[in-house]
Amino acid sequence: MTEFNHPEQILKQFRFRLFLAGIFVVCLFGVLVVRLLWLQVISYEKYKSIAEDNRISIVPVVPNRGLILDRNGVVMANNYSAYTLEITPSKIKNLDEMLNELSDVVDITALDKKRFKKLKAETKRFESIPIRTRLSDEEVARFAVQSYRFPGVEIRARLFRQYPHGPSAAHLLGYIGRISQKDQERIEDLDMQDNYRGTTYIGKDGLEKRYETELHGLTGFEEVETSAGGRAVRVLSRKPAVPGRNLMLSIDIRLQQAAEKALEGRRGALVAIDPATGDVLAFVSAPSFDPNLFVEGIDFENWKALNESPDRPLLNRPIAGTYPPGSTFKPFMAMAALEKGFRTYGQVLRDPGFFDYGGRRFMDDKIGGHGAVDMYKSIADSCNTYYYMLGSEMGIDNISDFMAKFGFGQHSGIDLDGERIGVLPSKEWKAKTFKRPELKRWYNGETVSVAIGQGYNAYTPLQLAHAVAMLSTGGLDSKPRLVKAFQNPVNGEIEDRPIDSQQRLDLKASHVDNIKAAMRGVVLEGTARAVFAQSRYEVAGKTGTAQVFGLKKGESYKDKAQEERYRDHGWFIAFSPLQRPRIALAAIVENAGFGSQSAAPVVKAVLDKFWEIEGIPNPVMPAGKPVPPVTDEERQGE
């Protein structure tokens, strides 16, 4: 049977199909138009922002860290620019293999790799980590030629912290280091994340940490147009970074280094203060360490050497080392006796060479005693028996209440973290400190030891320096401070840091003059006379010898014959001149025996330098009556 095609039917089907196709095309265009309307009109702002983000990168501009200067403008901490080779771990597939290949181009030591892995453990994967710093121009050129082989590795120019005087003043300056997770949490707690974008270093210790906000500055930013490949094309806008402010210290680097030289090879501390303002002129802890070791991350060997050294170089002795004050406590005991009416200055007591109390005999330093002793002689010759008697009469609460006024057992207010308060013993302190009921009770015999600066007494060198500064000015309490002013590094403007409100103890002027005269007697005819015999400048002081509690049971103290670590600590406190003093000092030399032999020469070296700087000469004394030598018996009383 033959089939016939009907043209009209075929045409009708074609038109129907064409109509359906047209509707489909119109629908597609409709969808496209709707989508375009959605993207171009309704969601315009949203996608414009996303497009701009793809085209524009916000690059943080890290501010220059502020410098640290001494009182005369000598730089103690500065910055220098250097090239670093940095790796972003998230962009590296096989890190170990890449490091091996990179070592053929740039010299990378095993120590560099060890430090890198340590930093990698403390850093987020998408952040770059330095593998080498301070690259030479030759190394930069060599890497640049082969950089295509190492995606995720780049060379950057960065500013690095430098401490040009090395170990000098390390404990007060502190140091900076890479921002750790703990530091990051602290930054977030302070809501300062934006200000630390792009910053990799932060103050870790000392003034670098205490004044981090001032030193860091304000981070700026650049809006940079980038190509599709991420290459910077041009800078669209820029908000410059505000550099950190410079710290202008009260420290005089010349005095600082004179004290460090005098303490070289020994363990100890020295603090020198301007009594009128509280400005700290020298702040020494010996031995010291090189803060430059910490800037790029200290290696294990150096850290172990510092951390495990029996000399404890990381201990900030002026504020964290606590010691019995020994006989340097006696001038304050004498002042308490005058103020509270337990003694008069000219009252004479008989020293038989011992003091019996509570069934125990407390021996004086001098066999047979000092004989007739008034207050002047008790300080100049350092008579223990005089203070045994005084302490038993005053009682611990009278002693504790008076000593607290001079800052003993309290924070001094210095602008450094980590200050310890030490121990100012009292009945209340003992009851809170000990757990066993029989140990909570205060025994009057303990007061006898406290009165000569032993027993539970434990104070920092800064507390002793602060106390003698107050005594020298008749009770003026000026809080110790290290930072005098802030300097704008752009225009050089200086903003003085105001002195904290000063208070004055209610001390009778005649009592102050009497104690100062007795301390003057220490260097004229007392236990420190041999040290200061050749000094033309006027100085008053007090020697002290602090017993070390580690003395082996049953052994008697024999100074040089004693094992070094069991020898007594030597103290010396001083101020100069007698009226309107310009400088007050406290120095301790650990396990060095008598203060007149160990600490007093250290203080003299600093005073010599101080008066040399001030323009007052220190010539050799003309020939005259010879100064009698200080006997061992006299030294024992320190």
383 marked among binding-site residues: yes
Q: What is the mean pLDDT of residues 528-533?
A: 92
At residue 619, the pLDDT reads 42
When mean pLDDT is compared across 22-31, 270-279, 381-390, 443-452, the lowest value belongs to 22-31
**Does 501 participate in catalysis according to the annotation?**
no
351 marked among binding-site residues: yes
Residue 6: pLDDT over 80: no
Given 250, 285, 288, 327, the catalytic residue: 327
Residue 637: pLDDT over 80: no
Q: Return mean pLDDT, the chain.
A: 87
Q: What is the mean pLDDT of residues 85-110?
A: 83
Distance CA 526, CA 541 (A): 10
pLDDT band at residue 95 under the 50/70/90 scheme: confident
Return phi, psi of residue 600, to 5°. Answer: -60, -45
At residue 485, the pLDDT reads 97
At residue 104, the pLDDT reads 84
Contacts of 582 (CB under 8 A, 6+ apart): 274, 275, 276, 576, 610, 614
Do the beta carbons of residue 411 and residue 371 sit within 8 Å? no
Distance CA 255, CA 171 (A): 15
pLDDT band at residue 136 under the 50/70/90 scheme: confident
At residue 517, the pLDDT reads 95
Angle of helix 396-405 relative to helix 330-340, nearest 10 degrees, comes to 110
Interval 575-589: pLDDT, tens = 999 999 999 999 999
Residue 295: pLDDT over 70: yes
pLDDT band at residue 483 under the 50/70/90 scheme: very high
At residue 271, the pLDDT reads 98
At residue 139, the pLDDT reads 86
Residue 595: pLDDT over 90: no
Do the beta carbons of residue 177 and residue 297 sit within 8 Å? yes
475: helix, strand or coil? coil
Do the beta carbons of residue 188 and residue 106 sit within 8 Å? no
370 marked among binding-site residues: yes
pLDDT cut 90: percent of the chain above it? 57
Interval 63-93: pLDDT, tens = 999 999 999 999 999 999 888 888 888 777 8
Distance CA 171, CA 234 (A): 45
When mean pLDDT is compared across 109-123, 302-316, 501-515, the lowest value belongs to 109-123
At residue 634, the pLDDT reads 55
Phi-psi region of 463 (alpha: psi -120 to 50; beta: other; left: phi over 0): alpha
Q: What is the mean pLDDT of residues 536-559?
A: 71
Do the beta carbons of residue 286 and residue 268 sit within 8 Å? yes
Tokens found for residue 167? 């170990």
Interval 146-195: pLDDT, tens = 888 888 888 888 888 999 999 999 999 999 998 888 888 888 888 888 89
**Looking up tokens 């038109």, which residue turns up?**
15
pLDDT band at residue 564 under the 50/70/90 scheme: confident
Enter the pTM of the model. 0.83
Q: What is the mean pLDDT of residues 579-603?
A: 93
At residue 93, the pLDDT reads 80
At residue 550, the pLDDT reads 46
The beta strand positions in 288-359, using DSSP E, are 349-351, 354-357
Residue 294: pLDDT over 50: yes
pLDDT band at residue 464 under the 50/70/90 scheme: very high
| Longest CA span, the chain | 158
pLDDT band at residue 137 under the 50/70/90 scheme: confident
Residue 358: pLDDT over 90: no
Residue 15: pLDDT over 80: no
At residue 212, the pLDDT reads 95
Angle of helix 330-340 relative to helix 384-394, nearest 10 degrees, comes to 40
At residue 262, the pLDDT reads 97
3-state helix, strand, coil in the chain (%, to 5): 40, 20, 40
Q: What one-character DSSP code corresponds to residue 600? A: H
Tokens found for residue 208? 């670098």
pLDDT cut 70: percent of the chain above it? 88
Interval 49-60: pLDDT, tens = 555 555 666 778
Distance CA 503, CA 517 (A): 24
Task: Determine the number of helices (DSSP H) and then strands (DSSP E) in the chain.
Answer: 24, 23
When mean pLDDT is compared across 310-319, 471-480, 607-616, the lowest value belongs to 607-616
Distance CA 540, CA 393 (A): 28
Return phi, psi of residue 372, to 5°. Answer: -75, 125
